[in-house]
Amino acid sequence: MDFLTLFSIYVVVVLTCIGLVCKYSGQQQTPFGRLFNTFTQVASPWIPQCVQNLSHRTLHRLFHQRNSFFVYLHLILEAAVYAEYSYEVFGFCLEMDTTTVNASVPYVLLALKSYIFYLCCSRDPGTLTKKNHAAQLKVYQYDEQLFQEGTVCPTCQFVKPARSKHCRVCNRCVQRFDHHCIWVNNCIGAQNTRYFLLYLLSVCAMAGDMAVLTADMLFHVTLRSGLMHARYIDEQGRQQPSGLLFVVQHLFLTFPRIVFMLGFLVFVFFLLAGYSMFHCYLALVNQTSNEWFKRKGHSCQHCHPDSGHHSHTSYNPVQGFYHKGILRNLREVFWPSCPTRKKDS
């Protein structure tokens, strides 16, 4: 099996996994989610019904019932990457004159990320209970656009505070609900959004730093081997100068695990970098991803004079109802109010 075939299979598998995560984690409106929906519609006539039913039940159990599968998958992938980095890349980096301090940075980032990951998984996101319900009703005003006063959660039988939402996976109402993250097996809400942001940034830093170190190592290997100035004999027996594709194929055949690891790291970095930028933007304008998606269907409702909703605070269609300025928005994300700590008078 040649390099291009292996690479094509690798790309197809990666895109399929992204599509599955987007479709079954509530992100159907992403480009990957829409692409996967189109593919399944085209392929469904050729897939037996029993296979479709089985896959649907399995995927529903994975993505719509609380479980630790993706937490373990996350840890397994992380262990595989660090094992390869420690086994091959770290030693090569030292041989290529990379300092020990620079080569050890990924381990420092791993320790930092692991602590943040634990907090993100274990900390309560802001669950609505009988004890804190009255206090949480006073934290945010109702905008009467996305959140109407007096709305009752049919499951919890509570009047829903503004910005809260019932999570079907965890079966609880969460204060300032953002989304349910399958990778941490927890809701992201008022009390752990800061940990989620730091988690995303730390994973991006890990992937980016390891990718740079690995790419630098392969670059120096290429320079020292003289591949860029080498020639090869083609099928017609003529000498041809080695190009970029030839160098990549040679590196793939010589360091297959390292090249696949580098491709995975680059993919993770760019995927999470975009996702991190989106959540940083939401933090700067004091929105949640739940509000961002819901606002698409309500963006013009506040403009209708006969809508019957008149809020005393202006509604900014770009920044949202809860925008208070960048510094106050960030303060609310990183130092959220905790009404459960207030004592009854």
Tens-place pLDDT, residues 190-235 = 999 999 999 999 999 999 999 999 999 999 888 887 777 767 666 7
Q: What percent of the chain has pLDDT over 90?
A: 50
Which residues does 1 contact at the CB level (< 8 Å), separation at least 6? Answer: none
Q: Give which of 283, 295, 289 is closest to 321, Cα–Cα.
A: 295
- Residues labelled as active-site residues: 181
Asked if residues 163 and 322 have their Cβ atoms less than 8 Å apart, the reply is yes
**Is-contact 122 195, C-beta < 8 A?**
no
pLDDT per position as a tens digit, 69-98: 889 989 999 999 999 999 999 999 998 888
* Predicted model pTM: 0.81
Q: Domain boundaries in the chain?
A: 1-65, 67-345
